[in-house]
Amino acid sequence: MTEETTAPYAGAAVREDAIAEEQAHLDAAHERRHEIVRALGAELSTPAQDAVEQARHRGLARHRTELQRAEGGLVFGRLDALDGTTRRIGRIGVSGATDDDDPLVLDWRAQAARPFYLATPVEPLGQAHRRHIRVEGSTVTGVDDEPLDVANASGLVGEGALFAALGERRTGQMTTAAATLQREQDKVVRAEAKGPLVVQGGPGTGKTVVALHRAAYLLFANPQLAAQGVLTLGPSRRFLDYIAQVLPALGETAIVAATPDILVPGITVTAEDPRATEEIKGRALWQPALTRYVASLTPEATAIELFWQAERYEIPAATVGRLIAAAISGRTYHGARAVFADQVRERLVQAIADRSEELFARVDDGLEDIVHQRVDFPEVAGGDEGSEADGVLTDAELDALREKIADDPHVAVTVGRVWPVLDPEEELRRLLHDDAALRQFAPELSAAERAAVSAQQTGWASGDVALLDAISDLLGDTVVHPPEEEFLAERAAARRDWVYGHVIVDEAQELSEMQWHMVARRTPQLSITAVGDIDQAETPHHHTTWAQAVGAVFGSRWTQAALTIGYRTPAEVMALTAPILKRAGSLSEPPRAVRFSGFEPWELDVDEAHLVTETARAFRELTDRWSGGTVGVIAAADRVPVLSAALENVPVITATQSKGLEWDATLVIDPDGIAAEPRGWNRLYVALTRSTQELGRINIGAAGR
């Protein structure tokens, strides 16, 4: 529905009055926003006196940052209720001048704002009208009004505003969509964060938009999450750059954005495994295999010989065995080692104390020849009243002795020989390159699979990162962090063991089973939202359903939602996808496209000799036609190097690299070549559905391939 046909606001004069009215309200909201920012600044200028005040200051500082970033799109909607109440909806709440005043802007994440996304003529939820307010900077440029007492055939919320947003030129960066979220999207955004939620959505259904807005909503609805942060996982650095502006624009700073390859600090992926090897390394069997391997590293019980002040002390093997058994109960390798080391040192303390007491007891038995002998224990206040008198060390002397033993390098070396500190990288290499060890700890692997895994390579490949994470977790970190550390994005990103309040996974269909284990470790309560399209999966893992993808890690502890409406990809393009999905073995229902771009997909057949020149010409024509927007060039992988070298300043990428991205127009080079790649029909499905307006395909003649 458009503003020209919308009652009761129809008519140019009425629309101009509406724009003027919304401009006045927007100006007032910005003025109030500046007042609040100044007041918060004054309050933060007073030093915090205690931990409670420090926590409050952190909350105030975060709120100030959100308000400062809300320069654009502060207000984007309005609800007129049946009872006469009017509310403006925006990206962040702005309070009135007094506690008795209604808010000037209601945060889009607030419960009271839900009717803006959910109200329909069938279920108006107490609302009479909905208005979408179009703003550029701090200027209102238009309104789209939607009465909620008139049937909307499309079923879309704010159809005019939605189509206007979809028709805008792409800039190469994603923007917020809080103003145009649709009913089924909003339901996912606000779904309860209780266990893993997997959201299936085809091209253009707004999966990424939903995931990012869900992160912002959860932080708003559950302020305690800000103390732990939210991890957002994307498929590539290019993708992370693409979405980089969305969350800050929504006012959120308690978020770490990463790819699975960088989740283990200090590890850089520099190698690439063959697809078959990558698939093997991604299997869930490695979790129990690595668990068995790390368990085998527990030391054997052996007698420990320690020296203190030239005296020899021994802990018998049987006692050491009991200490080891007690230490390993429910602990990681290094966690158990720390407990074991403490117990060994404590045994030494007690042995020294016992020997001191024994020597003085011998004096009491009349052994005058050793009357002047004594154990050289630390001198402490009051020492002449305890050990000097009867050989029994006081509590203060025992504590001083413990400190000296804890700092003694010789004791540390002795403990280290029995129970060494292990390096996760060294241990993983040792396992992966030892056929006998693989046979023992990963018996599910065939001889050929073991050979593929143990093939020598320089550096770590992507599939190794999840294995490193698993073995690092089983070994345990050697540095103990304070349990109440404040969340800072840089701090959380630098720690492999940081526990997040929630994890968002985009392009989730690409994760291997071991990568899902890696995700689960970062939120033990399994507070996860995963969005993806199982039909766009192109990694070597064999799953074709979500149950296959996540079942090995989550079992039955997950729920699924669906995004069924395609907003971005025009109907003209989606009409091409049915035979491709069939060839890909799809079991999913493709999304229903709700818009036509007016541009039919076109094809151009060329021979090999003219491929570069025809690609350059087509790219120039599309660039001219979509001036102010973006044009993407996607090619079969084996053609990317040649085209990139020949087409100056024209980024040419593979179908895999295009995942999650969008352009006004897309030029797909050699579709048959893409289809011939591993999981090529899935890749071709991805490549063809990246455009919001126009799709062109350049085919290579049979003689050219």
Is 203 among the annotated ligand-binding positions? yes
At 113, which amino acid appears? A
CA distance 44 to 62: 11
The DSSP-derived string for 154-187 is T--SSHHHHHHHHHSPP-SS----TTT--HHHHH
Mean pLDDT for the chain? 85
Is 59 among the annotated ligand-binding positions? no
- Stronger pLDDT, 512 or 116, i.e. the higher one: 512
- Torsion angle of C-alpha atoms 184, 189, 195, 196, degrees rounded to 10: 70
CA distance 653 to 676: 17
Question: Helices in 501-610 by DSSP H: which ranges?
Answer: 513-521, 546-554, 571-574, 577-583
Is 656 among the annotated ligand-binding positions? no
Q: What angle do CA 633, 635, 640 make, to 5 degrees?
A: 100
156-179 tens-digit pLDDT: 454 444 445 445 444 444 344 455
Q: What percent of the chain has pLDDT over 90?
A: 53
Is 483 among the annotated ligand-binding positions? no
Q: What b/e sequence results for 147-172 when a residue is b if at least 16 CB atoms lie within 10 Å of its CB, and e otherwise?
A: bbeeebeeebbbbbbbbbbbeeebee
CA distance 26 to 76: 9
pTM to 2 decimal places:
0.77
Least confident range from 45-59, 312-326, 490-504: namely 45-59
- Torsion angle of C-alpha atoms 243, 245, 246, 252, degrees rounded to 10: 120
194-223 tens-digit pLDDT: 899 999 998 888 888 888 888 888 888 887
Q: What is the mean pLDDT of residues 399-414?
A: 92
CA distance 280 to 267: 20
Q: What is the mean pLDDT of residues 600-612?
A: 95
Q: Strands 304-308 and 311-315: what pairing?
A: antiparallel
475-534 tens-digit pLDDT: 998 887 777 677 778 888 899 999 999 999 999 999 999 999 999 999 999 999 999 999
Is 659 among the annotated ligand-binding positions? no
Q: Which domains does the chain have, with CATH numbers?
A: 10-168 (no CATH), 210-294+425-566 (3.40.50), 300-369+394-418 (no CATH), 571-700 (3.40.50.300)
Is 208 among the annotated ligand-binding positions? yes
Contact (CB, 8 A) for 545 and 200: no
- Torsion angle of C-alpha atoms 606, 607, 613, 619, degrees rounded to 10: 30
